[in-house]
Homo-oligomer: A and B are copies of this chain.
Amino acid sequence: MSLAKPFLSDNAAPVHPKLWEAMRAADHPDNPYDGDALSQELDARFTALFGRECAALWVATGTAANCLALATMCAPHGGVVCHEEAHIEVDEGGAPGFFLHGAKLMLAGGEGAKLTPDGIAALIDPIRDDVHQVQPHAIAITQASEYGRTYRPDELAMLGAFAKQRRLGLHMDGARFGNAAAFLGGSADQAARAASGPVDSLAFGFIKNGGMGAEAVVLFDPEAARQVRYRRKRAGHLQCKGRYLAAQILAMLEDDLWLANAAHANAAAQEVAAGCGDRLLHPVEANELFVRLSPAERDVLRAQDFAFYDWGADSARFVTAWNTRPEDAQALGKAIAAL
């Protein structure tokens, strides 16, 4: 597959130069696991970022980050409410069933792969509180969503209130958290707080945003954090040279590189969107575009060296990244407009 003008996925992008620098700077002997100086900084750095006390632990994948967090809020006999197109349901190879020891994903609908209190209530209200039916223990949302949609602060606040009222945990899959935060804009400070909102835990994604192999599990409850430390090891996710993961994350936080990278990708997505008109299946609120395109139209684009995935029979998905060249994005927008 041609990778000349790549809109396949942000996870195919290379690693940001600042992260290479940071990793090389960490390339000296230090204590193993998370006993090194860099790993030890994480809690404080994320606490500052979010303006509330939290713990942050590196892991190598978003799948692990999501599942380790969810395991703190859903017992094996409980259920996690998520969108029927949520990544944890559709694309993680059954990982929640593994990490949560057989707990059930409970699937709700919702426009743009976003959950709403009403949609969740419609799913869980009919569940009788008897032992024959799995009871919901937690909610998982994705920010930005699987269709590149972003929860607004008031939507998060309502979900938070709902979760609290129903005594459900609230987890955020932030594989593209940076893109959501950038979209919510304003200051980095506010954007991050708005995007994490009232959640109990966050899988803060860096890999799709210029990282190599480090995401952060952010836990706002100290007891959950303690538990995840044990569970991370038990899941084989405590790398012995953790300083290279911490280095990546700290470099991302430095001068808000994570937001700059995400803003770059978002801007490129808007360039593409400008050419899509009513072909867009979803408003573009992050760095993904879902575009109605016939097979023939897709062939035309591919003949121009644009690389992307089909999305069902009649559309395609384009993803921009921290390194997308603006000229490629403009070219793609124009090429689509010209179809």
Contacts and interface: CB of A to CB of B under 8 A. Distances in A.
Given A6-B29, A101-B102, A59 B236 contact: yes
A315 interface: no
A231 B92 CA distance: 11
Given A77-B230, A93-B134, A9 B32 contact: yes
A12 B30 contact: yes
A15 to B, nearest CB: 6
Contact of A29 (B14, B104, B244): B14
A235 B98 contact: yes
B230 A131 contact: yes
Copies of this chain assembled into the complex: 4
Nearest to A87: B132
Interface string A53-87: 00000011101110100000001110100000000
Contacts of A190: none
A101 to B, nearest CB: 4
Contacts of A237: 60-61, 64, 236-237
Given A235-B95, A236-B61, A236-B95, A101 B76 contact: yes
Which one of A1, A11, A77 has the highest number of Cβ atoms from chain B below 10 Å of its Cβ? A77
A230 B135 contact: yes
Contacts of A99: 236
A15 B32 contact: no
A90 interface: yes
Given A31-B12, A67-B236, A213-B244, A93 B131 contact: yes
Q: Is the interface of A mostly helix, strand, loop or mixed?
A: loop
A133 B90 contact: yes
A93 B92 CA distance: 23
Contacts of A94: 76-77, 79, 102-104, 134, 234
A315 B285 CA distance: 45
A238 interface: yes
Interface in A179-208: 207-208
A61 B238 contact: yes
What 8 A-B pairs come out closest when comparing CB atoms?
A97-B102, A64-B236, A93-B233, A63-B236, A11-B240, A131-B233, A101-B101, A94-B134
21 contacts: A3-B29, A11-B240, A12-B30, A14-B29, A15-B244, A60-B237, A61-B237, A77-B98, A77-B227, A77-B234, A91-B133, A92-B234, A93-B133, A94-B102, A95-B233, A97-B234, A98-B101, A131-B229, A131-B232, A212-B241, A237-B237
Interface of A: 1, 3, 6, 8-9, 11-15, 20, 24, 27-32, 59-61, 63-65, 67, 75-77, 79, 90-104, 131-135, 207-208, 212-213, 227, 229-241, 244-245
